[in-house]
Amino acid sequence: MTLRVVQWTTGNVGRRAASAILDHPGLDLVGCYAWSPDKVGVDIGTLVGAEPVGVLATNDAEELLALAPDCVSYNPMWPDVDEMCWILGAGVNVVSTAAFITGRALGAEARSRLEVAARAGDVSLFGTGVNPGFLNLFGLVSAGICDRVDRLRVLESVDATGYASAETQLSVGFAHDPDDPATAERTERASAVFGDAVALTADALGVELDHIGFEAEYARATETMDLGFMTIPAGTVAGISGTWFGVDQRDRHIVECCYQWKMGWAMEPDWPLRHGYFVEIDGRPKVRSRFQILPPDDWDEPDYMGLGMIMTALPAVSAIPAVCAASPGIVSYTDLPLVTASGFVTP
Ligand SMILES: NC(=O)c1ccc[n+]([C@@H]2O[C@H](COP(=O)([O-])OP(=O)(O)OC[C@H]3O[C@@H](n4cnc5c(N)ncnc54)[C@H](OP(=O)(O)O)[C@@H]3O)[C@@H](O)[C@H]2O)c1
């Protein structure tokens, strides 16, 4: 059976999601939502850099729901709870990369509305990405060999210079004054979805948390850096090392979800990046795993940022069949069967 999918926006992640949906034999891309006026009326194939496929992007959301899709692949810059509730309430499943893992970060009221809407529509809502998202699953799977877990830590340590989403980068604190308390609040607010990942991990490990917290350190630019899509003025934030942690009843940081992002080439302190995604479990055994991301031999793009976007989009796209088959409501990795690259194996 082919599942009918609508792609919601075609930015960095959405373009990769749409390409993957077009390639998947079990998915049929039937519509596309455009937030940008200049994308309205443009063929989705053209928007993703492929041949036209006869599906034009529209900003008429009602027109898209009238297509009776099975699922929306939701990749806007910011999640819109009203919009998500409306889609779910209309009986359309949603897979999202837009700051959604459990809904905790959106607040109890918004989370409850989403849960009610999904149940009313008899559909499911699933959020993922690479981090948060797949990396947390990788951490949980890695812990499956331990007979004792003292701490499960995951870390993304990457150069984000090529991630050309200025609004996203500004929202997490880049190019802001590191000494301004409002910057720390901004970073915490914009990365709150990593707190969802802490909650999900603790829940999957059967740990009751006392609380979830956050701390961040900044690196400041030592010169003004023009990245093309944004400028980082000298003295402002050019690096962020953030840790979302879950504290258990014994006052231990039992779960940590960390990110280390740098933008540009001149900053202090100049933390050495580890370039990848890491799972570090203190326990028995101690586990140290890294998934190493390399371009395939036929990669022909000028840089490797696209790999990160594929890795963000695919955990959501690959989950579409499982999400469409899941029980109604908000679902997470603990509710879904094993999600693989089924449909993407080269013929
Ligand atoms: N969990 C993870 O691993 C992970 C990693 C990376 C990103 N993400 C999340 O995935 C989502 C998509 O990321 P992205 O890099 O693809 O985003 P993006 O390219 O910056 O923006 C996505 C789309 O949002 C629309 N848009 C632009 N400005 C907007 C505004 N001010 N208000 C509302 N919509 C606007 C545009 O739609 P049009 O296509 O119509 O122009 C744009 O293409 C974001 O929520 C991001 O935080 C998650």
Please return the burial class of 10, using the count of CB atoms within 10 Å of its CB with bins 0-12, 13-18 and 19+: buried
Tokens of 162: 């090529």
Pocket of ligand 1 (CB under 6 A): 9-14, 34-36, 39, 75-78, 97-99, 129-133, 165, 167-168, 312
**Spatial separation of the C-alpha atoms in residues 152 and 143, rounded to whole Å:** 8
Residue 347: its pLDDT value, please? Answer: 87
Ligand 1 center–CA 281 separation, angstroms: 32
Question: Measured in angstroms, how far is the CA atom of residue 114 from the centroid of ligand 1?
Answer: 20
Report pLDDT for 292.
87
Instruction: Say if CB 328 and CB 118 are below 8 A apart.
Output: yes
User: Which residues, other chains included, contact 244 with Cβ-Cβ below 8 Å and sequence gap of 6+?
Assistant: 191, 194, 195, 197, 198, 212, 213, 214, 256, 257, 258
> Which residues of the chain register pLDDT less than 50?
none
Residues with Cβ within 8 Å of residue 34, at least 6 apart in sequence:
9, 10, 40, 42, 57, 58, 59
Strand 57-58 relative to strand 27-33: parallel, antiparallel, unpaired? Answer: parallel
- CA separation for the pair 46, 30 (Å, rounded): 15
pLDDT number for residue 12? 96
> Ligand 1: which of 75, 78, 154 to mutate, most ligand atoms within 8 Å of CB?
75
For the segment 7-26, what is each residue's pLDDT rounded down to a tens digit?
999 999 999 999 999 999 99
Tell me how many degrees the CA angle 291-7-126 measures, rounded to the nearest 5. 55
Q: How far is the CA of 302 from the centre of ligand 1 (A)?
A: 21
Tell me the whole-structure pTM to 2 decimals: 0.96
Per-residue pLDDT tens over the stretch 77-135: 999 999 999 999 999 999 999 999 999 999 999 999 999 999 999 999 999 999 999 99
The number of the ligand 1 atom at minimal distance from the alpha carbon of 47 is 39
Q: 217 forms bridges with which residues in the sheet?
A: 241
pLDDT at 1: 85
* pLDDT of 63: 98
Q: What is the pLDDT at residue 284?
A: 98
What domains lie within the chain, and their CATH numbers?
A: 3-128+319-331 (3.40.50.720), 135-296 (no CATH)
